[in-house]
Structure 1
Amino acid sequence: MTLSHHSRPGPESGPRTRRLTVAQALIRFLAAQYTERDGVRQRLIAGTWGIFGHGNVAGVGQALVEHADVMPFHQGRNEQAMVHAAVAFARQRGRLSAQAVTTSIGPGATNLVTGAALATVNRLPVLLLPGDYFATHPADPLLQQLEHPTAADVSVNDTLRPVSRFFDRVTRPEALVPSALNAVRVLTDPAETGAVTLALPQDVQAEAHDWPEEFFAERVWRIRRPAPDPAELADAVAAIRSAVRPLIVAGGGVHHSAAEDALRALADATGIPVASTQAGKGSLRYDHPADLGGIGHTGTAVSDDLARTADLVIGVGTRYTDFTTASGTLFQHPHVRFVNLNITAFDAHKMAAATLVCDARAGLASLVDALAGHRVDPAYEGEYRARKERWQRVTEAAFAAPDDSAVPTQAQVLGALDAVVGDEDVVINAAGSLPGDLHRLWRARSPRQYHLEYGYSCMGYEIPAAVGVQQAAPDTPVWALVGDGTYLMMPTEIVTAVQEGLPVKMLLVQNHGYASIGGLSESVGAERFGTAYRHRAPDGSFTGAPLPVDLAANAASLGMDVLRAKTVGELRAALRTARAAHRPTCVYVETDAGGAAAAAAPPAEAWWDVPVAEVAAREAAVEARKRYEQEVTARRRPL
């Protein structure tokens, strides 16, 4: 590698510069960025994922080769999957370290949009570096260029604007300096972070420029922990002290702030119970006396019953999605109030709440101090603990199989996995019917164990996410829980796991279609139309025999070791073998989804609003509309 330095000796000499291409300068700059929180320093951009084409191979691609000593490179197979892997990496690292993703122009760039939306919705940092059209327009249209007849500066990368927290198109070399600094500012801001996009015209990527040496100096971006405003804190303390049935809703912000110990201290000191969103599950260990499990549509009976009677809801790092609030029907106390602790004012003000706009750990620690001596009524504490014990029996019944020769239900699959994992294992899922069963039943043992992407609920997330988590935590057993629908959407990064020697474990559950949407379809009068993976019947419906696909054979063809399990006993043995494996391993199981087996799984404990056809000829839809009109009357808007 040869670097050209331009400088003159002597005190009168001007600033030292380095002559590099725009792409080379960007890679060098990114390699020198660090985060620091609580005295712990990490590299911000730990590596770059890439798929190369004519829009980035000569620019960013060449720069990654030339600067391989400072920027690790990871070869992806699908652009969306690369973003998922990077997002999962950042989540596992507590948002303190992230990855970049580079693609060509055209379809490579637009394939980033879904992953970018997922990152921004979940408040997780990822840096996107898509190629773009020639800034100099030497010949239009280029291969893969979208021509806009009235706006020549529009490119397909503009699709990334609404899903990015920061977007810029770097059309001149000197524009890279402020753009790169702003990109890192947003990536490291706990209140602003998400997808950040720097669109890079392919001619500009390769253009040389004299860069000031200061641009490549090591920079440390300290992650702040803002304390609560004293007046807001006083209001929150007064509300908590006056509440009879308070309930904490723990969201993903608890994990992002590493506030689990502070939350446990508050629960221990006050006896206030804690329910968790999908992103917040694991904020307390499952066997903590105050942990009630998941809340909302996919929550536990104890969480949802207490939520209906809570007179004060304390939201910590939560966005209050419709699944959490049961579409506005969950919190039914006539005088319920909300106190929201969130580093983002936008989220803190939801539910017409009294706000604590601050870091979650700092805010919870302040509440512990300010509430010294306060504790909920012993009768309330006894009530929720008794309900927690009853729900534990429900979980154990759902996990239990009649004998080892039985074909497992989906809940029994989770029970078998629950018996195998250790505290350090990470379990990843995102969409389908599994998130509901996991949120209700999974017994999270540590803050990072439960890794559900349910902000965007994106099918295809699980396998690339397992790759990203395994990169972030190389000595940790990582499980991707995948249904057949998700598997068929994005198995590509199995190849990456094999190439990189990452011992991810995939639990592949075959239930012949979209089980979650099938159930939802039935509940809204759509009669499971188009949700099963089956042959067409003579009447044209998809109700024939299951399709003769062999997903286990497909996983094996991509390089995984595959263990097939037909019974509960075989499943347990296969899971133990997979956990000990040192290379990518798939456990394949077909579940029993019908009859008494289906009835054994706990049902939803709260409503979710999916509008039903107001007029219909089919009886199923007419009856579903009647139920809908009854349920929707319970909706309330806090004011």
Structure 2
Amino acid sequence: MTCAQLLLQLLRDTYGVDTVFGIPGVHTVELYRGLEGSGVRHVTPRHEQGAGFMADGYARATGKPGVCFIITGPGMTNIATAMGQALADSVPMLVISSVNRRDTLGRGQGRLHELPSQQQTLSGLTRFSHTLLDTQALPEVLVRAYTIFRSSRPGPVHIEIPIDLFNAPATPPAKWQPPELYRAAPDPRGLATAARWLHEAQRPLVLLGGGCVDSPEAACTLVERLDAPTVTTINAKGLLGEHHPLDLGANASLPAVRKLASEADVILAVGTELGETDYDVVFDDGFLLTGKLIRIDLDPEQLVRNQRVSLGLVADSGMSLALLLEHFPQPLQRGGRARTAQALAALGLGDDPAFAPFVPLFATLKEAMPDAVLVGDSTAPVYAANHLVSQPAPRRFFNASTGYGTLGYGLPAALGAQLARPDLPVVALVGDGGVMFTLSEIATAVEEQLPVVILLWHNAGYEEIRRYMDAHGVERLGVDIRAPDFLTLARGFGCLATHVDSPAALAEALASRPKDGPLLIEVDATQWHRNVA
């Protein structure tokens, strides 16, 4: 058995990998020997950045690490942006790459795809980056990667294999089984203190982040027992179910929720960074917590970032929620539902001029595709959806407006989500500016016969940056860009495409969407605003 064959066997049989994303190259052909007929599906994007975003979408939709096979040098620098997004949002991603021969590493000989140090270049975008120098170390390196994914704060892991090792003999470990791994439990004394503070609180507030998405029942039951208004961040959307009476949504940047936060005497923050893109998208440092702050996170460094903490517990979010529940056998009564309803009424999101035009858009989507996974780029409908949309379950709403905030994410990530969840419809929410970064992935959607709806919001340029320039007295430059004919381009890829400008036209387009391929729906933003005004 060769090193490449052992790698494929371990990924498939030990770690349950069923899909890999990658573009073959002369340095990685040996990775593909035996892939055909192995039961592992290979998906070919049209750019390595697309491979990374597809793996990201696959991982967010399932909780399983997305896996990529990537070529040396430019392949790795191409995927680096996607790895940055995954790192920022704690998304598990395994990137297997080639690297030049062991005897040439670091010698600057001008070899094909050579970097001075590929491992060093990628190490800042990963939980760890490792150069394999011995085939017998492969099982150990893989188990280290999956330990990060399963029992620590996840993120991208990069393993590079010199091209002269792919065909090197490798001995499969005898009866190899990965260890059973359990995440850290909270310290009982700290948990008891946290429970006491929450019992004594008169105006509690709960903040739930993406670290909680695998524990919806415990999260929902706990906030109900606490009778506490609850912020569910963008990556935690759907955690409490749809339209829960204690769910404030991802609205921590808006005045009514900030008022609740500043008045709260005890705040429980679980699995959340308390970062800018969830709590301060207006960028004024106005999310202030003056009460006792209890933080629970797998990452000890995270406990002391962004807000002053009163009590920190290094622990798994789901386990902590379940153990906290034991301290609250009966529901408390603190007027939480009334406080939540009052705050939501004060927000008046449906009547807010910034959000109102998108209310009929998401109502139409919900009626036609009630179970859809919504995957977004950085674009106007996504910014609105962060505040407006409620989902029935977690892992059905994610986008690139959080964390790293890259453009081009929405389309390929939606394809990854559709591959991961063929049982659910998937919608990619993209803009005419951002979609140009990865438009070529329509070809992948057609080739793989993925029935993704690509909802393209066409507002003739970079609208968010236009407004930002206007607000800061900067002359518009580089934002009023010329767009191509998206319908012609989509059809050239073999993708059905249509143009809409009203909720009725959108409903009609969705009703006739294909089941064996993508549909691009271009929404004329200017006409849409006029028709729904």
Alignment of 1:20-31 (within 5 A): 20-31=1-12
1:483 is aligned to 431
Among 208, 220, 228, the alignment partner of 1:272 is 228
Alignment of 1:112-191 (within 5 A): 112-137=79-104, 140-146=109-115, 154-189=116-151, 191=152
Among 394, 398, 401, the alignment partner of 1:447 is 394
Deviations 1:165-224 (A, max 9, x none): 1211123333434323323322333x23211111111122222x241442xx45355452
What's the offset of the Cα at 1:430? 3.1
What's the offset of the Cα at 1:101? 1.1
- Work out the CA distance in 1 between the residues paired with 2:178 and 2:353: 49
Q: Which SS does the other structure have where 1:204 is aligned? A: coil
Among 286, 289, 298, the alignment partner of 1:330 is 286
Deviations 1:226-245 (A, max 9, x none): 33211111121122123222
- Work out the CA distance in 2 between the residues paired with 1:248 and 1:100: 34
Per the normalisation by structure 1, the TM-score is: 0.77
Deviations 1:608-635 (A, max 9, x none): xxxxxxxxxxxxxxxxxxxxxxxxxxxx
Q: Which SS does the other structure have where 2:512 is aligned? A: helix
What's the offset of the Cα at 1:463? 1.1
1:465 is aligned to 413
Q: Relative to 1, partners in 2 of residues 1:220 and 1:176: Cα closer, same or farther, differing over 3 Å? A: closer
Q: Give the superposed CA RMSD.
A: 2.7
Q: Relative to 1, partners in 2 of residues 1:176 and 1:220: Cα closer, same or farther, differing over 3 Å? A: closer
- Work out the CA distance in 2 between the residues paired with 1:495 and 1:374: 53
| Structure with the greater alpha carbon radius of gyration | 1
Q: Which SS does the other structure have where 1:414 is aligned? A: helix
Among 300, 314, 317, the alignment partner of 1:357 is 314
2:193 is aligned to 235
What's the offset of the Cα at 1:414? 3.1
2:494 is aligned to 559
- Work out the CA distance in 2 between the residues paired with 1:80 and 1:295: 31
Q: Which SS does the other structure have where 1:136 is aligned? A: helix
2:247 is aligned to 291
1:198 is aligned to 159
- Work out the CA distance in 2 between the residues paired with 1:302 and 1:222: 45
Identical positions, percent: 26
**1:186 alignment partner AA:** I
What's the offset of the Cα at 1:90? 1.3
Among 11, 17, 32, the alignment partner of 2:13 is 32
Gaps of 5+ in 1: 1-19, 35-42, 147-153, 402-408, 534-546, 601-639
* 2:345 equivalent to 1:383: no
* 2:5 equivalent to 1:49: no
Deviations 1:84-125 (A, max 9, x none): 11111111112xx22321122221121121111122221111
* 2:258 equivalent to 1:308: no
Q: Relative to 1, partners in 2 of residues 1:142 and 1:574: Cα closer, same or farther, differing over 3 Å? A: same
2:472 is aligned to 524
* 2:227 equivalent to 1:248: no
Contact (CA 8 Å) 2:377, 2:434: kept in 1 or not? Answer: no
Deviations 1:381-440 (A, max 9, x none): 42332333454x642776998xxxxxxx45543343233331x21011131333321111
- Work out the CA distance in 2 between the residues paired with 1:477 and 1:396: 29
**1:592 alignment partner AA:** T
Q: Relative to 1, partners in 2 of residues 1:591 and 1:221: Cα closer, same or farther, differing over 3 Å? A: farther
What's the offset of the Cα at 1:251? 0.6
Among 56, 75, 79, the alignment partner of 2:48 is 79
**2:292 alignment partner AA:** R
**2:10 alignment partner AA:** F
Q: Which SS does the other structure have where 1:112 is aligned? A: helix
- Work out the CA distance in 2 between the residues paired with 1:259 and 1:565: 39
- Work out the CA distance in 1 between the residues paired with 2:528 and 2:474: 19
Contact (CA 8 Å) 2:262, 2:291: kept in 1 or not? Answer: no
- Work out the CA distance in 2 between the residues paired with 1:428 and 1:25: 35
- Work out the CA distance in 2 between the residues paired with 1:193 and 1:51: 25
Q: Relative to 1, partners in 2 of residues 1:63 and 1:186: Cα closer, same or farther, differing over 3 Å? A: farther
Deviations 1:248-268 (A, max 9, x none): 11110111xx21111111122
- Work out the CA distance in 2 between the residues paired with 1:176 and 1:388: 53
**Number of aligned pairs?**
526
Per the normalisation by structure 2, the TM-score is: 0.91
Q: Relative to 1, partners in 2 of residues 1:451 and 1:210: Cα closer, same or farther, differing over 3 Å? A: closer
Q: Which SS does the other structure have where 2:479 is aligned? A: coil
Deviations 1:281-339 (A, max 9, x none): 22122421101111333x5x542332232222211110111133325733446x42211
2:506 is aligned to 571
Among 543, 550, 560, the alignment partner of 2:485 is 550
Contact (CA 8 Å) 2:432, 2:483: kept in 1 or not? Answer: no
Q: Which stretch of the first structure deviates more once superposed, 475-484 or 359-368?
A: 359-368
* 2:385 equivalent to 1:438: yes
Among 521, 530, 533, the alignment partner of 1:587 is 521
Q: Relative to 1, partners in 2 of residues 1:519 and 1:594: Cα closer, same or farther, differing over 3 Å? A: farther
1:347 is aligned to 302
Among 441, 448, 461, the alignment partner of 1:500 is 448
Q: Relative to 1, partners in 2 of residues 1:398 and 1:479: Cα closer, same or farther, differing over 3 Å? A: farther
Gaps of 5+ in 2: none
Q: Which SS does the other structure have where 1:111 is aligned? A: helix
Contact (CA 8 Å) 1:109, 1:157: kept in 2 or not? Answer: no
Deviations 1:503-535 (A, max 9, x none): 1111111001111222222223324432222xx
- Work out the CA distance in 1 between the residues paired with 2:269 and 2:433: 34
- Work out the CA distance in 1 between the residues paired with 2:130 and 2:354: 50
Q: Relative to 1, partners in 2 of residues 1:502 and 1:595: Cα closer, same or farther, differing over 3 Å? A: closer
**2:416 alignment partner AA:** G
- Work out the CA distance in 1 between the residues paired with 2:184 and 2:227: 26
- Work out the CA distance in 1 between the residues paired with 2:308 and 2:355: 43
- Work out the CA distance in 2 between the residues paired with 1:317 and 1:273: 17
